[in-house]
Chain A
Amino acid sequence: MPLDDDVVESIYREHGPALRRFVSSASKDPQTAEDVVQETVLRVWQHAPDIDGSLRSYLYRTARNIMIDNYRRAQRRPESLEGSPDAGGVREKVDELLTRVLVEEALLRLSREHREVLVALHYRRLTVNETAVQLNIPSGTVKSRAYYAVRALRTILDEMGVEQ
């Protein structure tokens, strides 16, 4: 049974902004982006009973498929063919963006303590001792948080259906 209006509206309110950021990074036209966001939520409305796991990552994947379908359709129209990249290139770009938002989403689901340590060590390339000074915690805590952070991240990514 499809969801009712209230549920659709709450999905749109809760996930719309994040979804719009993802779609906008792939589509320059705001109206097109908004159409993709709405179509994504509508498809979720239709397929709600079959969704398990993370709703957000399901929404992202659905938006990705809609964008790629739209692109294929546009390509079949002769006037839009000139100078446009091939469908494979577009899919690659959209998939790259999808991975990026899924990683961002996964990092946001970590606890703040885990996220801080992971970002310091991996992204900022700080040493354990530098991280300890920066976060004002003992270096032993940095090490144990790094350990629990990578384990938690793996679990979150598995739940989101990110394989790799």
Chain B
Amino acid sequence: MKAADSHQLLGAYLLGGLDAVDQAAFAAHLKQCAACREELAGLEALPVLLDNLPVPDAVSLTLDPRATAAPGTSTAAPLLARLASRRRKIRYRRR
């Protein structure tokens, strides 16, 4: 296997899913490749971070992109009223 290919095994090594042959190949490559070790160190916190998102939520992101975004049903009017009132207060304080 070419060195560039070995390097790219890092992603699946980190996320899981390599077969035994690739797993062994990358483990061997890691021993000789300081660049890979350094890169892995910068990425190895990712799986734990990813686990904060439950599996069904993560899977749903691939089914229908942005399916989770509800249509904008609410109006911005109450917000703009609060904005106007806050703006008046700021002006008052500055006087």
Contact = CB atoms under 8 A, between A and B. Distances in A.
A99 B49 CA distance: 8
A147 B11 contact: yes
B64 to A, nearest CB: 11
B15 A17 contact: no
Interface in A142-156: 142-151, 153-154
A66 interface: no
B45 interface: yes
B58 A146 contact: no
Contacts of B55: 123-124
Contact of A128 (B22, B47, B83): B22
A125 B53 contact: no
A120 B58 CA distance: 10
A107 B11 contact: no
A129 interface: yes
Interface of B: 5, 7-12, 14-19, 22, 42-43, 45-50, 52-55, 57-59, 61-62, 65-66, 68-72, 74, 76, 78-80, 82-83, 86-87
Interface of A: 2, 5, 8-9, 12-13, 16-18, 20-21, 34, 38, 41-42, 45-46, 96, 99-100, 103-104, 107-108, 112, 115-116, 118-131, 140, 142-151, 153-154, 157, 162, 164
